Amino acid sequence: MAVKEKKITDQYAIYNGDCIEVMEGIPDGKIHASVYAPPFGGLYNYSSNERDLSNCADYAEFFKHYEYVVQNLHRITMSGRCSAVHCTDVPSSNSGVDHLTDFPGDIIRLHERIGWRFIARHTIWKEPLWVRNRTMCHNLSHKTIVDDGSLGGVASADYLLIFRKGGKIEEPVNHPVGLIEYAGQEPIPVDLVKYRGFTGKQTENRFSQWIWRHYASSVWDDIRMHRVLPFQDCKDPDDEKHVHPLQLDVIDRFVSLRTKPGETVFTPFMGVGSEVYSPVMLGRRGIGAELKPSYYRQAVANLAAIANGGAFIKASGDDPGQEHIFSAGDP
């Protein structure tokens, strides 16, 4: 399967095609970082394409195919640099979870077998009613625990797993003036703003230290769940589910911490372009591959907005029904 479409600018390159074939064209050790959510069929089926990982016959087959992705990412990543995988525990069903599968744990074991080093796990908290309204999971409702608390569900967290490729770090990811942008919903203390971009001794940079304490936490409970790229128009008539893209706060944090301006971030499962958009807005370059044509077309539209000021519609964090214009690159 050749690449069907592509769009290349001086800031990004995106491809409508199989990520394995796209990665085959990338030389060894040329990517500074990667970030993505693997399309696992136990959660959603994204398309009927036989190359789609969400269409694998079973759990074992998924990991057999996914292994090729992880191997290629290891090959194209620079020594000492990182890859981030967004995932969650997989429920046995939507009607009433009989059990959960430790999908994150199996992802970790696969990466370690290939040679990646597992270095961090960020737990992303999700509000239970928000999850219930989004997924319509029957056991995640107040009525369920009223009838039988033993069948009550849990709003499972998302996880961002961080892996580092072994070898000598040729280009350290230094932050000479610390962190200068915060991606999250907590208000920044007014008395710290004067330290933003502080050029003195960094032990005195209270602005950067405040951000770092949020980013270095094992639990991220300040992610803005509705800060995502537009995705409403990319659903095909035969789609089983309406899939919510990865929150930009999550991507921004990884990109800000683990890469430097001017470096290249790759995503093998681009979706509507979030994992390319975020790096570009933060002064990096992005490369993305997406198998599904409707998602690719939405990514083209979303990335074109970069040149148009980056203004999108989003729902506010306080009231999901209220929408306003925002710049996806804003803190």
How would residue 187 be classed by pLDDT, with cut points 50, 70 and 90? very high
Output the pTM of the full model. Answer: 0.87
On whether the 5-124+156-327 domain is CATH 3.40.50.150, my answer is yes
CA dihedral 134, 137, 142, 146 (to 10 degrees): 170
Question: Contact at 8 Å (CB) between 229 and 272?
Answer: yes
Question: Over the stretch 281-326, which tens digit does the pLDDT of each residue have?
Answer: 999 999 999 999 999 999 999 999 888 766 554 433 433 333 333 4
Average pLDDT over residues 223-243: 70
For the chain, the structural domain boundaries read 5-124+156-327
Assess contact for 161 and 107: CB atoms under 8 A.
yes
150, 158, 324, 328 alpha-carbon torsion, rounded to 10°: 180
Tokens of 156: 């499972």
pLDDT higher than 80, residue 10: yes
**Residue 272 and residue 230 in contact, taking contact as beta carbons nearer than 8 Å:** yes
% of the chain surpassing 90 pLDDT: 64
pLDDT tens for 38-82 read 987 554 555 555 556 666 668 888 899 999 999 999 999 999 999
- Structural contact between residues 135 and 169, judged by C-beta atoms closer than 8 angstroms: no
